[in-house]
Amino acid sequence: MRGMLETVMANTSWVVGKDDLSFWHDNWTGKGPLRDLYPDDIEQNIKINEVINNSGTWYWEKLHYEVHDHWKIILQNKFQLREELDKAIWDPARNGDFSIKSSWEFWRTADQETERLQWIWHKVVPTKIQVFYWKMWKNIIPVDGVVSKLVCLPSKCSCFIDSKCEDSDHLFVRGELATHIWSHFSRFCGVKMVANQTYWARQGTWFKAANKSTQMGVARGILPGLICWEIWKARCKFRYEETEIRHDLLIREITSCVQDCLKNVTLNVDKNFSDTISIQLLQLHTITVLVRKTIVVRWCKPPVGFFKLNTNGSIADNLCGAGGIVRNSRGVMVFAFSAALVPGTNTTAELYVLLLGLQHCQHNIWFPLLVEVDSEVVANWYNKHNKVPSRLRGM
């Protein structure tokens, strides 16, 4: 705690304001009180705001002790008198305010971001498995081989035949159980099974076959972690609860775990044959990407001797407008009109303009007539597919 307090003090400086910080005796520079720079006792009591004024002028002559030149430079560059109250500045935080997050970032030694670590912390993997996997990365999973470095410990792995001392490579890759599990998933996922690998090498083989954009790519990236997690759980149950390890159950657990991890993620579906088979074997849920179909709509001439009426009505800001056009069988316009309508809805506008168009055609005897409107509702009424609401029947 003491060491920590010193570290905090060393990384705290002050915005010097109107308060009474002592020039010699307070740690306002973040490097300790300035009196500590002197072998003799400093007896002068003088406030910082007596040594510096608002415009940034320093009155060194007021001090009874000479300040070293390099300190003068540091102070002149770093501090100025402000209007507000004195305020402690926590140097590691960007805004100067102390926070747990900035302190954590300050104290911790971050791992260098590597391809392997990105798989370990992959967002689809549940947090408890991420943390377990990270511990494997640090080689601190308490297998016998790790514990026996601290205390003298006899060790026997969980294999039935030819049991050995339990270390990470044996438990997670080379032992009977691990070999069985890895060969199953190697077959299912199309990853080459290399015998006698260390755990590190096995992880590398799988990551090489992984990628972040396809379903099977991600499955191969996260499976090494899931496999080890389930092996570890089964090993602990066997040791502490004397629960029998069943290979088939373990495989089922791992498969359902990978299915859960991938069920809500939209990823590209793998196109190659081998990956398609793997997806079926693992029964991964395939998220179908909706493909919008584009329909080309174009105007066609009516048959010889026919006329065609096209109408359109719309509404914007409660103003209704509509228009229509009549063409003959050669596609030549014979009549066009537009109209401002009383406020209504898109449908009433469509309906009115159809009525206007039909009246014109009737008046000019443009028959036989084909009609095209862009309202499905109106078309269905007209063709008697749906009943016209009673309030509109009068039209």
Contact track, Zn ion, 98-137, x by CB under 5 A: ----------------------------------------
Question: Applying CB under 5 A, does 145 fall inside the site for Zn ion?
Answer: no
CB of 238 to Zn ion, least distance (A): 12
Q: Out of 145, 175, 302, 357, which residue is the one contacting Zn ion (CB under 5 A)?
A: 175
Question: Applying CB under 5 A, does 181 fall inside the site for Zn ion?
Answer: no
Pairing of β 369-373 and β 307-316: parallel
Which among 28-36, 170-178, 257-265, 381-389 is the span making contact with Zn ion, rule CB under 5 A?
170-178
Question: Applying CB under 5 A, does 159 fall inside the site for Zn ion?
Answer: yes
- The answer to whether the beta carbons of residues 48 and 68 sit under 8 Å apart is no
The residue behind tokens 């302190």 is 103
Report the residue number, 212 or 237, with the smaller CB distance to Zn ion: 237
Question: Applying CB under 5 A, does 143 fall inside the site for Zn ion?
Answer: no
Q: How many residues does the chain have?
A: 395
Question: Applying CB under 5 A, does 157 fall inside the site for Zn ion?
Answer: yes
Please give the radius of gyration of the chain, using alpha carbons only, rounded to the nearest integer.
40
How many residues line the site for Zn ion (CB under 5 A)?
A: 3
CB of 177 to Zn ion, least distance (A): 8
Which among 3-11, 51-59, 100-108, 159-167 is the span making contact with Zn ion, rule CB under 5 A?
159-167
- The answer to whether the beta carbons of residues 282 and 258 sit under 8 Å apart is yes
* DSSP result, 217-237: HHHHHHHHHHHHHHHHHHHHH
Report the residue number, 166 or 275, with the smaller CB distance to Zn ion: 166
* DSSP result, 245-274: P-HHHHHHHHHHHHHHHHTT---BPP-SHH
Taking residue 373's Cβ as centre, other Cβ atoms within 10 Å add up to 20
Tell me the C-alpha distance between 181 and 365, whole Å.
83
Interaction site with Zn ion (CB under 5 A):
157, 159, 175
